[in-house]
């Protein structure tokens, strides 16, 4: 059995107009969302042992700020391929995972499309298809190795958005 935690990066802003899209940082709302999501993950004991993150600043900050709440000692891999990636690229990245519980953070539209495609039955939630900033889905797979992961094979365990945790 393998578990995947799929989190879209938290809310970022354009406060510094000299930053490129890649360099954008989390804004106050995004930092608050990381606290909420981190506390929620901790309360559910959804603690990853391996992390895949886009190399964009807002994704790195999302993981680092969530991890302040869950205190995972996970192996972290920052991947350029996860910056504005397609669902297929995300699937390929995950096929290289070596641990049992993976945390993934990346960008829309790819991460939202991936979350929808990976589940046998996606959640019936009014915000799922838009996959807002900080949206988090937890999916289990009846596989022994991540190279066996396929679309439409995940069993949905949970879905939450930061605004529901306030």
Please name each of the domains of the chain with its CATH number: 2-14+22-165 (3.40.50.1240)
Question: What average pLDDT does range 22-50 have in this prediction?
Answer: 96
Tell me the average pLDDT of the chain.
96
CB atoms within 10 A of CB 131: 25
Q: Is the pLDDT of residue 22 over 90?
A: no
Instruction: Give per-residue pLDDT as tens, 84-122.
Output: 999 999 999 999 999 999 999 999 999 999 999 999 999
Q: Is the pLDDT of residue 148 over 90?
A: yes
Q: Name the one residue in this structure whose structure tokens are 């042992």.
A: 49
Question: What average pLDDT does range 13-28 have in this prediction?
Answer: 85
How many Å apart are CA 128 and CA 71, to the nearest integer? 27
CB atoms within 10 A of CB 142: 10
Residue 11 DSSP code: P
Q: Name the one residue in this structure whose structure tokens are 């938290």.
A: 10
Instruction: Give per-residue pLDDT as tens, 50-88.
Output: 999 999 999 999 999 999 999 999 999 999 999 999 999
How many Å apart are CA 132 and CA 116, to the nearest integer? 13
How many Å apart are CA 49 and CA 98, to the nearest integer? 9
Using DSSP's 3-state secondary structure scheme, residue 8 falls into strand
Q: Is the pLDDT of residue 11 over 80?
A: yes
Question: What average pLDDT does range 139-148 have in this prediction?
Answer: 98
């Amino acid at each position: 059995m393998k578990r995947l935690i799929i989190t879209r990066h938290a809310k970022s802003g354009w406060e510094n107009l000299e930053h490129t899209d890649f360099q954008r940082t989390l804004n106050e709302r995004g930092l608050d969302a990381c606290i909420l999501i981190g506390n929620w993950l901790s309360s559910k004991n959804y603690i990853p042992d391996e992390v895949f993150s886009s190399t964009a600043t807002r994704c790195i900050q999302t993981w680092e700020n969530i991890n302040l709440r869950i205190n995972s000692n996970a192996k972290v891999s920052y991947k350029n391929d996860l910056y504005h990636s397609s669902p297929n690229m995300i699937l390929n990245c995950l096929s290289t995972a070596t641990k049992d519980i993976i945390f993934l953070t990346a960008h829309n539209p790819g991460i939202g499309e991936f979350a929808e495609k990976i589940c046998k039955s996606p959640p019936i939630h009014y915000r799922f298809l838009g996959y807002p900033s900080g949206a988090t889905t937890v999916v289990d797979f009846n596989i022994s190795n991540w190279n066996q992961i396929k679309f439409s094979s995940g069993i949905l365990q949970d879905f939450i958005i930061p605004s529901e945790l306030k």
